[in-house]
Amino acid sequence: MAFFNELGKKISETGQTVVQKTKDTTESMRINGLISEEEQKIDQVYQQIGKAYYEGFRQSADPKFEEPMAWIDHAKERIAGYKEQLNLLKGLEICPTCNAAVPADATFCSACGSKMPPKQPQAAAGGQPAGETKFCAQCGAQISKAATFCNHCGAKQA
């Protein structure tokens, strides 16, 4: 009987040790998660500080920051070019008054109502062959033959 008592005691001690190690591991993982969250918050604040420094001191920055700031300037220029390419693909242009995206053939901005700058003359509206276009009876704008409404003045087409 002593053997079984000893065996039961060993099993109980081992079980308690396993339970304690599990609790310790769980607590360790929880604390590591808290550390990770705080480190992420610090990184976000570092980014905010860097952006605020760039925006506030771009023209008078410390010389050691000139190279990364120039890189950011060039990246912003590339992004603007990419956005322009996307707008061309989508048939949009940017309103010079409010920066809203409007259809390239719009005469007025739909966001602020400003008159859009004059367009370069094209052979036909939307790059379509001249035989596939007509002129609006209301405003005289060149539109697609298939258009039901004028995209310049909104008049219903016959």
**3-state SS string over the chain?**
CHHHHHHHHHHHHHHHHHHHHHHHHHHHHHHHHHHHHHHHHHHHHHHHHHHHHHHHHHHHCCHHHHHHHHHHHHHHHHHHHHHHHHHHHHCEEECCCCCCEEECCCCECCCCCCECCCCCCCCCHHHCCHHHEEECCCCCCEEECCCCECCCCCCECC
Residues 84 and 146 in one domain: no
Q: What pLDDT is recorded for position 4?
A: 76
Q: What pLDDT is recorded for position 60?
A: 92
pLDDT bin (cut points 50, 70, 90) of residue 137 is confident
Domain membership flag for residue 116 = no
More confident position, 4 or 24: 24
Residue 142 structural domain: 121-158
Residues 11 and 81 in one domain: yes
* Chosen domain end from 90, 108, 133: 90
* Chosen domain end from 75, 90, 105: 90
For residue range 80-109, what is the model confidence (pLDDT) as tens digits? 999 989 998 999 999 999 999 999 889 999
Residues 77 and 126 in one domain: no
